């Protein structure tokens, strides 16, 4: 199996290769960001700064990977980290991070002329944007300002130094092991999906996913949507209230959360089965041409046996890709 796609781009998954590709011929997200806004780099570890997200009373959280974007308004749960538990909380913003990958945190000043509120921006070691938290009130803007003042509001990080996710552990692990492997290195995960038993991972037609989402909206089935970046995934669990298809994109609404992805970028879809609360549970994983995971659709947590059975029946019926 070649490590390069038809265009010759290396997709071996090695971090050095990804950094070299990111720097070839274009500025990083961080460089572009610093050229457009006024802000201060925050002292302290980025995962400590991320823990401060829970201090915001009502922020707009945005995670984008270039092919999909999720946006949700509300308070944060203290972010969970790979290798640890996932304390999901309804009506809150839920983010799961891989702390070693987070490198830079910047508090951006509000710009009334440009219509930009104060915000907290997180970047990885290659300068790629991983997450943004926009203040929606004066109080939240003051919190972001306080975080930036030499780490003055930084608490002791609640992160537990949990067991790292290994390259092979997820293949026989539970849902969190699978989810964490996407956050840690989705390119390596995609490579391995083609090698595992078809009972664990089956390639399906990505063109049916918009129809699946519309069906989920019609029947009101509770699902979890996730948009991953190089170092985190932002999650939302609820019933879909609207699904719209237009101009090559698919947009989903669920309460205060919206998720949109580009259909042309989703060149592959894999139905991957792992151990969940109600037994084997399928996750639909969309990948782009570089083998980066851009969107996941699954059922996390306690859903109910009837809902779980309906989800498994639906995913089992999807045609091979």
216-225, pLDDT tens digit by residue?
Answer: 999 999 999 9
Give the burial string for 109-140 (b: 16+ CB within 10 Å, else e): bbeeeeeebbbbbbbbbbbbbbbbbbbbeeeb
Higher pLDDT, 105 or 252: 252
Percent of the chain with pLDDT over 90: 58
Yes or no: say if 211 and 284 are a contact pair by the CB < 8 Å rule. Answer: no
**Could you tell me where the beta strands, DSSP code E, fall in 86-230?**
94-97, 102-108, 119-124, 129-135, 201-204, 223-228
Closest CA to 63 of 203, 227, 193: 227
Average the pLDDT over 153-174 and give the result. 57
Give the pLDDT band of residue 165 (cuts 50, 70, 90).
low
Between 18 and 216, name the one with better pLDDT.
216
pLDDT, mean of residues 60-82 = 95
Helix crossing, 209-219 with 305-316: angle to 10°?
150
Strand locations in the chain (E): 39-41, 59-64, 68-74, 80-81, 94-97, 102-108, 119-124, 129-135, 201-204, 223-228, 232-238, 242-246, 249-254, 257-262, 268-276, 279-287, 293-298
Three-class secondary structure of residue 79 per DSSP: coil
Tell me: pLDDT of 235 over 80: yes
pTM score > 0.85 for this model? yes
Q: What are the tens digits of pLDDT across the range 32-51?
A: 888 888 888 887 676 677 77
């Amino acid at each position: 199996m070649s490590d390069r796609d038809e265009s010759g781009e290396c997709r071996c998954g090695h971090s050095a290769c990804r950094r070299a590709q990111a720097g070839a011929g274009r500025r990083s997200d961080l460089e572009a960001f610093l050229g457009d806004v006024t802000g201060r780099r925050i002292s302290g570890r980025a995962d400590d700064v991320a823990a401060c997200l829970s201090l915001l009373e009502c922020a707009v959280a945005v995670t984008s990977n270039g092919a999909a974007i999720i946006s949700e308004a509300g308070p944060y749960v203290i972010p969970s980290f790979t290798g640890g538990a996932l304390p999901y909380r309804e009506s809150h913003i839920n983010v799961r991070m891989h702390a070693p990958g987070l490198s830079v945190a910047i508090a951006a000043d509000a710009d009334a002329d440009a219509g930009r509120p104060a915000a907290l921006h997180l970047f990885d070691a290659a300068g790629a944007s991983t997450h943004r938290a926009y203040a929606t009130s004066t109080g939240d803007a003051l919190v972001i300002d306080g975080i930036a003042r030499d780490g003055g509001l930084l608490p002791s990080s609640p992160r537990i130094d949990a067991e790292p996710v290994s390259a092979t552990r997820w293949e026989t692990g539970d849902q969190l092991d699978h989810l964490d492997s996407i956050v840690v290195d989705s390119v390596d995960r995609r490579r391995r999906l083609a090698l595992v038993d078809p009972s664990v991972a089956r390639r399906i037609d990505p063109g049916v996913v918009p129809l699946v989402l519309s069906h989920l909206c019609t029947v009101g089935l509770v699902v979890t949507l996730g948009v991953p970046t190089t170092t985190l995934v932002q999650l939302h669990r609820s019933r879909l209230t609207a699904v719209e298809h237009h101009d090559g994109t698919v947009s989903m609404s669920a309460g205060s959360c919206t998720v949109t992805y580009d259909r042309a970028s989703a060149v592959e879809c894999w139905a991957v089965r792992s151990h969940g609360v109600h037994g084997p549970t399928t996750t639909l994983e969309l990948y782009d041409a570089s083998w980066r995971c851009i969107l996941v659709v699954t059922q996390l947590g306690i859903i109910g046996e009837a809902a779980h059975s309906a989800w498994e029946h639906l995913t089992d019926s999807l045609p091979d890709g």
